[in-house]
Structure 1
Amino acid sequence: MASPRLVLSVLVLMLAVIALTEGMRGAGPRKCCFNFNNKPVAKDRVSGYVKTSQRCSNAAILLKTVVGRQLCVKPSDQWVKELITYLDNKAAQGESSTL
């Protein structure tokens, strides 16, 4: 029969390994989307966007509105693609006009 010290040592070692491997995975994604807004949003109501993490189960875009809300939308929707192109062009023009 195993001594109590050996059992305790193995248990502590297993907990240390688990804690180490969990710590190496890093923090999970900050925000994932599970419900999506299907209605197009006016360009003047959106101030920016962010792509969700690749670790999320659903690919999504988080639209940031001028009033501070965040909306989940599907990146495959045509109106979303057009909106992202518009926002990217607007940001590029803003950067070049300040030079």
Structure 2
Amino acid sequence: MAAPRLALSVFVLLLAVIALSEGLRGPGPKRCCFRFAKQEPKERVTGYLRTSQKCPNPAVLLQTENGRQLCARRSESWVKNIISELDSNILPGEESHL
């Protein structure tokens, strides 16, 4: 009778340790990019959002006029141009384009 109780106690303790360790990791990034758009006409892009620093690839999510989000590399010149143009259109008090 003691063996099943001991096994159950060890199992519950193991579950508690796993749950605690998962909780301490904290939330991960909501969206990371692994495939990237080659180029998007700047007229179609209405906003952008940088991906988390926790993502393995530094990227930008470009919001298009039809509501899609495309991944693009931050280092690409065409992406830098779009971001620069969008940032120059920010009104006082606005934080981002998304």
Classify the TM-score, shorter chain. Answer: 0.7 to 0.9
Once the two structures are overlaid, the 10-residue window that deviates more, 71-80 or 3-12, is: 3-12
**Given the two structures, how large is their TM-score scaled by the length of structure 1?**
0.79
Residue 86 of structure 1: how far off its partner (Å): 1.3
Residue 52 of structure 2 corresponds to residue 53 of structure 1: yes
Percentage of pairs with the same residue:
55
Equivalenced residue count is 92
d(CA) in 1 for partners of 2:84, 2:19: 43
Looking at structure 2, the residues matched to 7 and 54 of structure 1 have their Cα atoms a distance apart, in angstroms, of: 42
Q: Deviations over 1:38-97 (max 9, x none)?
A: 12x232211110111222222111000111011110001111112111111111xx227x
How large is the Cα RMSD of the aligned pairs?
1.8
Gaps of 5+ in 1: none
1:38 corresponds in structure 2 to: 38
- Higher normalized helix content (fraction of residues): 1
CA–CA separation in structure 2 for the residues paired with 1:26 and 1:66: 33
What stretches of structure 2 of length at least 5 have no aligned partner?
94-98
Q: TM-score, normalised by structure 2?
A: 0.80
